[in-house]
Chains A and B, each alone.
Chain A
Amino acid sequence: MRTQKPFKSAAALAAAAALGLAACSTPDSDESVPGVTDDTVTIGTHQPLTGPAAAGYATISAATAAYFEYVNANGGINGREIEYLVKDDGYDPSATQSAVRELVTEEKVFAIVNGLGTPTHSAVLDYLDQQSVPDLFVSSGSLTWNQPDVYENTFAFNADYVTEGAALAQYAVDQQPDAKICVLGQDDDYGDGIIEGVETVLGSNAVTDVQVYSTSAEDLTAQMGAMMAAGCEVNVLGTINGFTAMAVGTAAQMEWFPKWYVSSSGADYPTLAGYLGADLAPQLLQGMVSVNYLPFSPDGEWVALFEEINAEYNDGAPFTGNTVFGMSVGYLFAEALAAAGDDPTRESLVAAIESGDLVGNGIVPLSFAEGDHAAYRSVGITVVNEGVQDYVGTTYEVGAGSVSAVEPNPVPLANEGIPGS
């Protein structure tokens, strides 16, 4: 401190020099794999447990943790239990920085799994690359995560937003060829991706109106007003859950009821119903179209398993799309870890994912391969009918600038949802 007297400073300097011999910050030279012991594997994530995005996404990590508890209770993966450390970042990129550094340097995690958010995870992308930490299954559909040449350890989980935007626009065109289609997007990679996808299908001049908002915005009155004035009939939304609810609610207040086509990141029916109220949601969200790639059909075998796990290990928390998402991510990591061998290293984990052998639990198999770090290139259309959101069977595969209909090919449940062995 600046008021210290010189002799005190000298004494402290000597003490510091003595401590310096311990040199705790010196780069590690020991050979052991960070986060892996004989009977545990420690991984970490950053999630918005507080802040503006908490209401929409805070339940994801709880579901993932519950799935890992289920795996651990059944012997773990290759004899190792998975320890899942969740750090809150409040959806604030600077907080993500601190959270992830703590996970990597203090907790010495094996990998970062399912870090949530485009702006938040962008803040730590370079850091994780410099530290050679596997950065798996990022919870965001930005194209940023699929750059194997630059970020060789980073893998996406969501279908990317361009794919989602293109599939939504294609379905809109198939359903109502002459409708006026508009887009509302978040003012970052998320919204940009959705807009790009829609424009891929329609052509850039055929979109009737494009509006953007920022996550720090208080309301969407101006955007909804402009879209209503433009005569939009189909609104494609690249919005997070809270803003989807706000858009639908604001339009309803204006007594305007267009068709809603929403990206998977902002179209979780139970979560939206939480915002809009259980009595109004079935009417307001009737016919809402979205896309997905995870097994959340209410009568499917995966959902049955996940519901069991949710009841036993997650205190019976409300079962939503976030629950399916969180547990699917957990399943995918467990599958990757099982494939990484009896003595997993960071290299063998990344190699296992790049091998292309992982299938995941989606409605189509994963598309990971060497040189391709995107998880899903095909998405299925879902529609809300009388308060139930389910697949309608239409599935699109989005390639370079083109959208084609494909048959869904769901991955069956095996070995009670515990990979390996």
Chain B
Amino acid sequence: MKTLLRALLITLLAIGGTFALDPFRNYQLALAAACFAAVAGLTVLVGLTGQLSLGHAVLMAAGGYGFAFAASAVDGPWPLALLAGLAAAAVVSGLLGLLLGAAAARLRGPYLAGLTLALVIALPAAANTLPLGGDQGAPAPFFPVPEALAALIAVEQWHAWLAIVVAAIAVTPLVVLRSGSAGLRMRAVLDDETASRLSAVDPGAVKTGAFVASAVPAGLGGAVLAIATQQVTPGGYGLAFSLLLVVAAVIGGLGSIGGAAIGSVLVTVLPWLIDELAALAPDDLGRRLDGNLALLLFGAGLIALTTAWPGGAARLLDRLRAARPLRFATPSTTTER
């Protein structure tokens, strides 16, 4: 109950915050919210069960395609189309997550990472082979500002609201799950599979369940992206983006939902910020740097950050808050160097 109240408060806070932002920032906020939903799922998966997925972009894409096709198919008032789209996004990504989870229960470490990586690389080919619209992608319906609000807010802000609400719906169950008995079972499986089996915790079922629980928020994140951009294209869910999600989870601190929020905002805003800086450089140099500098600085920054604070932003926050004890076990496979 306390978690729900807190989630409600933070959601309202975030919606209030959109008034302080101009339309482009609100658009970026919507993108960050989409990332946040996916990264929250990923960080719980990696942090609590130690299953490294490099393919969460594909789960987002699955959600995005699900949303686009279902919402376009519904010929009714917009809330109905929105809900149908979200439901389809959750179902499609959940099913794909179940499939992956079943494999994940039998694979560990680099093998699982390899499998999920292959999925990302296969996405463009899949989009061209399946009826998903090829490289041009599938169009998602546009949700205009409802008339009652039209005089008050711009369309970007409205989409930011939708994004915040969907992200909240996607992430809150994860928080509940993480702090409940399911989270306890996940940690047990991570620490010692044999011991957990002796305690009647089936590692396979827990790992599969964790994958599904992580896939659904990612799919809803994909739906948020589809709402904000009215388009789902395989190019938007490439390898770079998929790795960026992992980066966001690592920067934020594996296992931490608050950290996931920080990480998502960083990966959304930083590349853009660096491009802005590159634009300040002299014309010729700027033209050569445009697009390339972001990647370079981003990589360097990530290395510096993980060296300085291996626990990520969440750990840093904790330390600033007078060294509260950590509430989760650090997984041995992914952060130990």
Question: Which residues of A come within 8 Å of B, CB atoms?
Answer: 1-4, 6, 9, 12-13, 16-17, 19-27, 49-51, 62, 88, 90-95, 97-98, 101-102, 105-106, 118-119, 122-123, 126-127, 130, 187-189, 214-216, 315
Contact = CB atoms under 8 A, between A and B. Distances in A.
B13 interface: yes
Contacts of A189: 136
Contacts of A118: 136
B interface bracket (residues with beta carbon within 8 Å of A) = 35 or more
A9 B10 CA distance: 7
A126 B230 contact: yes
Given A1-B261, A214-B135, A315-B284, A22 B19 contact: yes
Contacts of B155: 130
A164 to B, nearest CB: 19
A279 to B, nearest CB: 27
B258 A3 contact: yes
B212 interface: no
Interface string B102-135: 0000000000000000000000110010000011
Contacts of A26: 152-154
B12 interface: yes
B98 interface: no
Given A214-B124, A216-B124, A16 B234 contact: no
Nearest to A103: B24
Interface of B: 6-7, 9-10, 12-13, 16-24, 26-28, 31, 124-125, 128, 134-137, 139, 142, 144, 150-157, 171, 175, 225, 228-231, 233-236, 238, 256-258, 261-262, 272, 275, 284, 287, 290-292, 314, 317
Nearest to B150: A27
A310 B235 CA distance: 34
A18 to B, nearest CB: 9
Contacts of A127: 230
Residue of B22, B136, B139, B292 with most partner-chain A CB within 10 A: B136
Residue of B10, B156, B317 with most partner-chain A CB within 10 A: B10
B20 A130 contact: no
Given A1-B261, A123-B229, A187-B135, 12 more contacts: A4-B258, A16-B13, A25-B26, A25-B154, A49-B290, A88-B275, A88-B291, A94-B233, A101-B24, A119-B233, A189-B136, A216-B235
A27 B258 contact: no
A91 B124 CA distance: 14
Nearest to B324: A3
Contacts of A3: 256-258, 314, 317
A116 to B, nearest CB: 14
B258 A2 contact: yes
Contact of B291 (A50, A188, A215): A50
Contact of B19 (A19, A92, A106): A19
B154 A119 contact: no
Contacts of B156: 25, 101, 105
A143 to B, nearest CB: 14
Given A16-B20, A93-B231, A188-B134, A50 B292 contact: yes
Given A25-B22, A92-B236, A4 B10 contact: yes
B231 A102 contact: no
Nearest to A89: B291
Given A19-B20, A214-B135, A13 B287 contact: no
A50 B293 CA distance: 11
B258 A105 contact: no
Contact of A97 (B142, B151, B229): B229
Contacts of B10: 1-2, 4, 9
B74 to A, nearest CB: 18
B27 A93 contact: no
B23 A105 contact: yes
B6 A188 contact: no
A361 B21 CA distance: 44
